[in-house]
Amino acid sequence: MEDVTSVAGAFKHQLETGDREPFEALLAPGAVTWHNHDRVEAPSSNPDGGKIFQELIENASVTIVQHEEFPGGELLRVILGGTVRSTGLPLDVHNCLIFTLDGGAITRIDEYVDPTMFSQFAPAAD
């Protein structure tokens, strides 16, 4: 079982279960997330974030292929899997997240998403 008090464990837990509470507890007030796909910086807090993923994916799984700690942060390279509910096709998304930490609290997340991620959620064209 993952340690849901750790950044990696709480991230994995939220996507696999829909329970984002342990992850939210690690966020510093005012924490932001930057996305590479749209270059937007938005508030990190989203209590429904894990539930949204669960609505899109059945049997969600997160495989952590790399977890590195460094002064002031952590890097996670992950593979998101499961079955896309709208298509019945397997999900295979490779993402990288860089967490900036201050006193153990997440202040910033730089999220580099697989460029195929959003097309994998779309229903197949006839």
Residues 73, 82 contacting (CB under 8 angstroms) = no
Percent of the chain with pLDDT over 90: 75
pTM here is 0.90
- Per-residue confidence (pLDDT) for residue 8, from 0 to 100: 95
Report how far residue 17's alpha carbon sits from residue 5's, in angstroms, rounded to the nearest whole number: 15
pLDDT in tens, 31-41: 999 999 999 99
Report how far residue 69's alpha carbon sits from residue 42's, in angstroms, rounded to the nearest whole number: 24
pLDDT in tens, 69-108: 999 999 999 999 999 999 999 999 999 999 999 999 999 9
Domains of the chain plus CATH, in order, are 7-121 (3.10.450.50)
